[in-house]
Structures are given as structure tokens and as C-alpha cells.
Homo-oligomer: A and B are copies of this chain.
Amino acid sequence: MDHQAKGTRQGRAALKADEAKVDLIAVVVAVNDSEPCLLTIGNADTLPSGPYALEHRSLQSGLRGWVEQQTGHPLGYIEQLYTFADRDRIGAERQERAISISYLALTRKEQATGSANCGWRSWYEYFPWEDHRSGTPVVLDILRPRLIEWAEGASDATTRRERRQRAAIAFGFDDRNWNEELTLQRYELLYESALIEEAGGGRDVAPAAVSGKAMIADHRRILATGIARLRSKIKYRPVVFELMRPSFTLLQLQRTVEALAGRLINKPNFRRLVEQQELVEETGETSLETGGRPAKLYRFRHAVLDDRAVAGTKLPLARA
């Protein structure tokens, strides 16, 4: 972009100070045995990341490089999530600016090449309240009163009402429906109310089994962004197939969607929508591994164009 204004207003030295470090950071997701998994590195709970460097041809290729180097995993589908400026970084090197560009990536676990210093964890370890596949999780019984307590603790009445409403919408209180796409809003509410480790000085934090595992820096927030994006996207774009093996049964496909959404789907309705949209075609083979009647195997119809062109695909996720 041209900035004629800048050239005139600032000297060359001041301009130099405008530079910033740029980090690329990845939320890499796979689904195994109906469990949505996140790729982490090191012993700690850290997302793969690295600086955008001169030798990178593009932001995306830089990200692919870092992830492959740190984890041995080649990435397929990639999508930019959000860019933010890291604050609270001043001090280390005075007046240094850092920008983080985060991405969502989808793969399959088997595609690892090297061992590397990395591992997979269910993303529900970090967000125990997000898994509603076996009904409302018990941790919500603990979090709900504390959220209400937080809301009531506000000084003025307006703030109290606003907090109550936000909590009610995000967590489905007062017989509202649970909306699985509000993952980020829920995380932010728990952060604001200091119910999770990253938020406060560890004073009133609930045990990890309730508030979930913490992550380095703001990585858990980035993960929440990725989950929300993915949960929203599977409803109108055929991205699930990036997570599937070449051939699969319809129930396996359903279980994968359910794992991501964190809620159950009505089986016949799911089949109806998948079939009537012609997203898949039969391979002709069947799978006997199911225990009951053999299931037909399907493959993704690649005639369905990729993300950039397809519009209008939908997956049925019960609202009520």
C-alpha cells in the first residue's frame, strides 16, 4: 500500500521503528475415533508457530513450513483465522512490536512422517464445557453458579443485567438453547470472570477438570477462535472431508461432524441432507466392522468444487 502521508510526516528513522515481528501460528485439527484432536508441540500446551521469515514465499507457505518442521505433519486445508497484536510484550526488548497471524488447518493423524516433539490432545481437554454429545456436561453445573455470582458482583445494575444476559446467551441458561458456535464468547466470559487459569493470578480458579487445561500465552484463546470457526464452517462448506479417510461410512462421517460440533445429530436427517446434496458417492464396497448390518462405503465427490466455488452446502445440526 502506498502511504504518501507517512513519507512526509516521519523521517526514515521513525519509519524503521514501525516495523514489527510477525509470527505465524497454527490450530491444526484432526479427528480420531470420534474425538477432535489438536496438534501441540513440546511438553507444554503450545500451538505450532514460528516467525514469518525472508525465505518464505507467502504467509501460508511459511506456516506450512513451520508446522511440518516442528511436527512432521504436512497440512492440507488451511484458512486464516485472525491477526492480532501482542500486547504486554514491551520490556523484553524495548518498544518491540509483535503481530501474530493465526490459521486453522485440517489434517488426518496418520499423515505424520517423522516422530518429532509433538502430540495430539482432544480439544475438549481444554474446553470441557464444550462437549454436549452425552448431554449437558457436569462442569456446567459448577460454572453456572460462579458465572451468575460474577454477574451479580458488578457495581451498577446495567452491568449486572448485561453480564447476566451475555452469560445466558453464551451458555444457554434460562432454558435458552445451547449454541455450539459461541465457543469464543464462552471463553471470553470465563476469562473476564477469572474462572480460568490464564485470566487471573490463580486465586479463585476452578480445578483443571472444570476449567480445562490452560495453554501457553493466549493459545487457548486462539484455539477457541478456531473451534468456533470450524463449527460454523462445517454447516455450509464441505470441509469435513479433509478430516476423513478416502472412504468412509455415513455413520463415521456423522460421528466426525458430531465430534466437531460437540452435539449429536439425528441420523436419518443427516443421511438425507448429505445424500440430497450429492456430496458423496458409493464406492461399491461395504464395511463389516460395525457389528450389525454392513455399512456402505462412500467417498467424497470431487466434482464438488472446493471451498472457493461451492456455495450452499449444509449439514443438519439440530438447533433445539
Q: Which of A32-40, A122-130, A165-173, A283-291 contacts B (4 or more CB under 8 A)?
A: A165-173
A165 CA to B166 CA, complexed, in Å: 44
Asked whether, in the complex, the Cβ of B59 is within 8 Å of the Cβ of A83, the reply is yes
Most buried by B among A80, A219, A311: A311
Q: Assuming A166-B309, A305-B166, A311-B181, is B99 touching A18 (CB within 8 A)?
A: no
A216 in contact (CB, < 8 A): yes
User: In the complex, what residue of chain B is closest to A311 when comparing beta carbons?
Assistant: B179
Q: Scan residues 257-306 of chain A and give those whose CB is less than 8 A from a CB of chain B.
A: 305
Q: Which of B5, B18, B47, B49 contacts A52 (CB 8 A)?
A: B18
User: In the complex, what residue of chain B is closest to A84 when comparing beta carbons?
Assistant: B59
Q: Scan residues 196-226 of chain A and give those whose CB is less than 8 A from a CB of chain B.
A: 216-217, 219
Set of chain B residues within 8 Å of A219, measured between Cβ atoms: 1
Set of chain B residues within 8 Å of A100, measured between Cβ atoms: 1
Q: Which of A21-29, A106-114, A247-255 contacts B (4 or more CB under 8 A)?
A: A21-29
Asked whether, in the complex, the Cβ of A2 is within 8 Å of the Cβ of B59, the reply is no
User: In the complex, what residue of chain B is closest to A95 when comparing beta carbons?
Assistant: B54
A83 → B minimal CB distance (Å): 4
Residue count of chain A within 8 Å CB distance of chain B: 60
Q: Scan residues 55-84 of chain A and give those whose CB is less than 8 A from a CB of chain B.
A: 58-59, 69-70, 80, 82-84
A19 in contact (CB, < 8 A): yes
Asked whether, in the complex, the Cβ of A20 is within 8 Å of the Cβ of B20, the reply is yes
A135 CA to B29 CA, complexed, in Å: 44
Set of chain B residues within 8 Å of A316, measured between Cβ atoms: none
Q: Which of B86, B99, B216, B305 contacts A99 (CB 8 A)?
A: B99
A182 CA to B170 CA, complexed, in Å: 30
A53 in contact (CB, < 8 A): yes
Q: Assuming A54-B95, A82-B80, A83-B80, is B2 touching A217 (CB within 8 A)?
A: yes
Q: Which of B1, B42, B69, B82 contacts A86 (CB 8 A)?
A: B1
Q: Assuming A70-B5, A99-B99, is B23 touching A21 (CB within 8 A)?
A: no
Q: Taking A3-B49, A169-B310 as given, write out 13 further A-B residue pairs in contact, using a Cβ cutoff of 8 Å, ordered by the A residue number.
A: A1-B49, A5-B69, A15-B51, A18-B54, A19-B21, A20-B20, A22-B97, A59-B84, A83-B83, A162-B305, A165-B305, A169-B311, A182-B311
